[in-house]
Amino acid sequence: MKRTLPLLLILALVVVFAYLFATKGVISAPTELRPLGKFYLEKCMIGGDFAAGSPEAVTSILWDYRGLDTLFETSVFFLAIIGSLMLFSFKVKEVVREQELTLVVRSVTKIAAVMILAVSASIALHGHLTPGGGFQGGSALAVAPLLVLVAFSRKILETSGLSLKRAIVIRSLGLMGILLTALLPLTLGGYIMQNLPIFPKYIADQLTSGSLIFYNVFEYLAVGAGFTAVFLLISIPEKNFVEEEK
């Protein structure tokens, strides 16, 4: 409670200065597109159809125009996860969980985890059509095992098939997919990470935006499983839970 006064003071200062700035017109709100943003928007939507095969400008920039940037960003992210996997490769002593969470929490978690899986898959698979994408979907996916970890236990996650090893394998498969999708155009006479003439824009009359959907799906798997691996590492295994379940 001792911090209430400073916080209220800061709030009051912000309100007063916001009013002063608004009346004086110090901070102007942007109403026009910047030239670079306009350039990208025009280039994404140009020429009778979509230049990158996707009606979504952000994903087009992310995996097509600035694709190499995203590729190396992904590699930095996974180097960090590999680093943490290495740093944390020691035995944690098991603890006894004194109290279980209530039935309400566990039932809600069961429903919510399934719904999170569905929503995250939708975010990732529609990444080339609507706002969203592989990374956003993957981070949403990782919330489901995190909820199960907190509401139930690490053992339950492992006995139901999501062990640390399996998470790392799924992550590696996703990364391998991204790498193969990036290198495949080279073998077909294109450039690295080339999108459209190499990959088909439509598959079975569905707009799949060339390589964008592959990147999104692989990134979804890699990020989701990578985060799950880190959560599994951070969590502490419980001693008594499995016996109680039986």
Partner 1 sequence: MSLFELFLWSFVVLALVATVLISLYGIAKRPNLVKKLIALTILGDTANLFVILFGYRLIYPVAPPVLAQWSESGVKELLRKAVDPLPQALVITAIVIGMAVNIFIAFLIIQAHRLYRSVDTREIAKYGGE
Binding site for partner 1 (CB under 8 A): 10, 13-15, 17-19, 21-23, 25-27, 29-34, 36-38, 40-42, 44-46, 48-50, 55-58, 60-62, 66, 69-70, 73-74, 76-77, 79-81, 83-84, 87-88, 129-131, 133, 135-136, 230
Q: Which residues pair with 207 in a beta bridge?
A: 202
**What's the one-letter identity of residue 243?**
E
Q: Which residues pair with 95 in a beta bridge?
A: 238
Closest contact distance (angstroms) between CB of 5 and partner 1 is 14
**What's the one-letter identity of residue 131?**
P
Closest contact distance (angstroms) between CB of 77 and partner 1 is 5
Question: Which ranges of 126-238 does DSSP label H, i.e. alpha helix?
Answer: 134-151, 154-159, 164-187, 212-234
What is the distance between the alpha carbons of residues 15 and 21, in angstroms, rounded to a whole number?
10
Closest contact distance (angstroms) between CB of 66 and partner 1 is 6
Closest contact distance (angstroms) between CB of 230 and partner 1 is 7
User: How many of the other CB atoms lie within 10 Å of CB of 187?
Assistant: 9
CA angle 43, 72, 162 (to 5 degrees): 115
